[in-house]
A and B are shown apart, each in its own frame.
Chain A
Amino acid sequence: MRVVFKKSYDRDIDLHEHWQSRGKMAVLAIIMIALPFLVGNYYLAEAANTLIWALAGMGLMIAVGHTGQVSLGHAAFLAIGAYTDAALMNLGLPFLIAFPVAGLFAGLFGAIIAVPAVRMSGIYLAIATLAVFVIVEELVILLDPITGGVGGIMAPSISIFGISFDRYASLSNFYWLVLAVVILVTWAYANLLRSPTGRSFLAVRDSEVSARALGINVTRTRALAFGLSSGVTGLAGALMGHYIGFFNYELFSIFISINLLLVVTIGGLGFIQGAFLGALLITGLPQLIAILRDGLNANFGIDLGAVPGLDTMLFSVLLILFIIFEPTGLYGRWLKIRTWFEIFPLARRDMFRRQKSYLKTERMK
């Protein structure tokens, strides 16, 4: 077990309390930056896709993991981001303007929705976001001239200062662009968590009444969190649009919302790392299934391809298993394994035992 001697408050304020963890992050960053030289185009594109999902997952994590606002409609913000970005670029605006505006627009939209929605608690907010999702989906079809309606819309190729970042023509550049956005957002997210704003999010999540007693404006805090959450998701949506190239409203279905929830829950609620682990799982698992399927087909003549919806089924079962057996997600499991090794042989079974809580509601009848 590592003992950290803290000689100044900055040790706690810094992102990493020890140079080793800082070093690990640096190594990881270098590998990610060097990835285009290490793997082929197919896996590079998959890596970009995973990063985009991680970005969207971080967006949802702010709402679900850090302020306790469950959203079943985050695909709506992906859609808003993607359509805003594509529409602005089709008007001739450069990516450097269209992209932030797309995020900003999605964020503002989210914050505006959140103002009435935050009056509702828990389950009602989840429902409201679901309703917003359906409404946005239909609006996309209605606003034919901007969105291309049912037919769909083309996300123009990106070029910044004359350098091409096209998804197909210069995949490495596109990958680096996505990576840069992800690193920037991750950094800002980590900053948020160590600052008063992040603490007020947690306060609102854990006890509304005492947050108020401490002077935290719960409505404003929730709206801010939801706005940030939808803004980041909007950025992810814009990138997703460029990644897919040509898309219509069907890209942002309710299943995407559910998959996003899966990313944050299986990854580990309340941890930035969780969004990345979850994204890795959701983009990696279909690949794994495909490989397995081909293997089974070739070796045993079992054709799993004939069973439609198998992916979704596997995801569902996985989700159920995680919720029952490991509600803290992949990252939570990793923390437990790490702690077990760090204090070996002192770990006890009861160390991580969950506390049971009993339901007590505000309902009178």
Chain B
Amino acid sequence: MSLLEVDDLAVHFGGVKAVDGVSFAVDEGEVFAIIGPNGAGKSTIFNLISRIYEPTRGTIHFEGEDIVGLKAHDIARLGIARTFQNIELFDHSTVLANLLMGRHTHRATNFISDLLFLPKVRREERAHRKRVEEVIEFLELEAYRNKMIAGLPYGVRKVVEIGRALAIGPRLILLDEPASGLSVEESQDVAFWIEDLRRDMGITVLMVEHDMSLVTQVSDRVLAVANGRPLAMGTPHEVQKHPDVQAAYLGTATGDDAA
């Protein structure tokens, strides 16, 4: 059984078939990438998995459980974390607070104990903080710990968003264009982190990415989509060489030019 199984997924907005019959399965411990030209429906697939959109048809199973019936806020509890294409951080809070918000699914206190700040709350806060410090250390965010998000450079914000997703303690992480807008050095860092995520933390990665060099470097398997329909699936190399992919995604150029 795969960790995440998507079967015949489709969503139509009015007459537009944003996603139309996409199926794939992500195995535990795998790095799986979805590529495709702009408007191919990549982010829409993410939004379907994180239950922001309602699918027109098809099923999504996580560890065998059908998650189509769940609400958006139930997804994190299962161990699915995500980042957003256009960075959705809490701008008026510090990096530390943002990461602590990622611990929400693990809270055991309610608002009454919070209001009174019972000793239990303090114990829990320490535990959350310890976990968050591990994430800070892993992503080397120490220098920014008490900085407001609003004043941070773009590259750092991208990393903080990955950090917030990690604070959930996920089994599957969805990265929506983790390297877009980053410098070559920064996207190299992202590549290393993805490797470490899989190797050291045992987290399965599903990502949408345009940067073919990153995709080739880190992913085990790639799914290419265009106009909401699947084109090809296989190793990065196979997919790049696939004639349909070259036609739709890379135009008439070869895969090397896109890298």
Residues of A within 8 A of B (CB): 9-10, 12-13, 188, 191-192, 194-200, 202-203, 205-207, 209-218, 224, 228, 270, 355
Contacts and interface: CB of A to CB of B under 8 A. Distances in A.
Contacts of B63: none
B72 A213 contact: yes
Interface string B234-247: 00000000000000
Interface in B54-108: 71-77, 81-82, 84, 88-93, 96-97, 100-105, 107
Contacts of B81: 213
Contacts of A228: 111
Contact of A196 (B96, B103, B116): B103
A204 to B, nearest CB: 9
B117 A214 contact: no
A202 B111 contact: no
A207 B89 contact: yes
Contacts of B122: 10, 13
Contacts of B168: 214-215
Contacts of B115: 188, 191-192, 197
B89 A191 contact: no
A123 B210 CA distance: 37
Given A209-B88, A215-B104, A13 B125 contact: yes
Interface residues of B, number: 45
Interface string B176-209: 0000000000000000000000000000000000
A195 B101 contact: no
15 contacts: A9-B130, A10-B126, A12-B129, A191-B121, A197-B110, A197-B111, A203-B101, A206-B92, A207-B90, A207-B91, A210-B164, A213-B75, A215-B105, A216-B104, A228-B111
A9 B103 CA distance: 16
A213 B78 CA distance: 11
Nearest to B132: A9
Contact of A215 (B73, B121, B129): B73
Given A214-B76, A215-B74, A355-B150, A195 B114 contact: yes
Given A194-B125, A209-B52, 19 more contacts: A9-B130, A12-B129, A195-B114, A195-B121, A196-B104, A196-B107, A196-B128, A199-B104, A200-B104, A202-B92, A202-B93, A202-B97, A207-B88, A207-B90, A210-B88, A214-B101, A214-B105, A215-B75, A215-B105
A216 B88 CA distance: 14
Interface in B198-255: none
> Which one of A203, A211, A215 has the highest number of Cβ atoms from chain B below 10 Å of its Cβ?
A215
A195 B109 CA distance: 9
B50 interface: yes
B100 A212 contact: no
In the A-B complex, the 7 residue pairs with the closest CB atoms:
A215-B76, A195-B114, A206-B90, A210-B88, A191-B117, A215-B105, A212-B72
B126 to A, nearest CB: 5
Per DSSP, are chain A's interface residues mostly helix, strand or loop, or mixed? helix
A194 B109 contact: no
Contacts of B82: 213
A9 B125 contact: yes
Contacts of B72: 212-213
B101 A209 contact: no
Contacts of A192: 111, 114-115
A9 B131 CA distance: 12
A217 B70 CA distance: 12
Contacts of B91: 206-207
Contacts of B117: 191, 194-195
A198 to B, nearest CB: 7
A200 B105 CA distance: 11
Contacts of A195: 109, 114, 117, 121, 125
A206 B102 CA distance: 14
A207 B93 CA distance: 11
Interface in B107-147: 107, 109-111, 114-117, 121-122, 124-126, 128-130
Nearest to B110: A197
> Which one of A192, A200, A206, A211 has the highest number of Cβ atoms from chain B below 10 Å of its Cβ?
A206
Contacts of A213: 50, 72, 75-76, 81-82, 84, 88
A10 B77 CA distance: 27
Contacts of B150: 355
Contacts of A215: 73-77, 104-105, 168
Nearest to B93: A202
A274 to B, nearest CB: 14
B89 A210 contact: yes
Contacts of A199: 93, 97, 100-101, 104
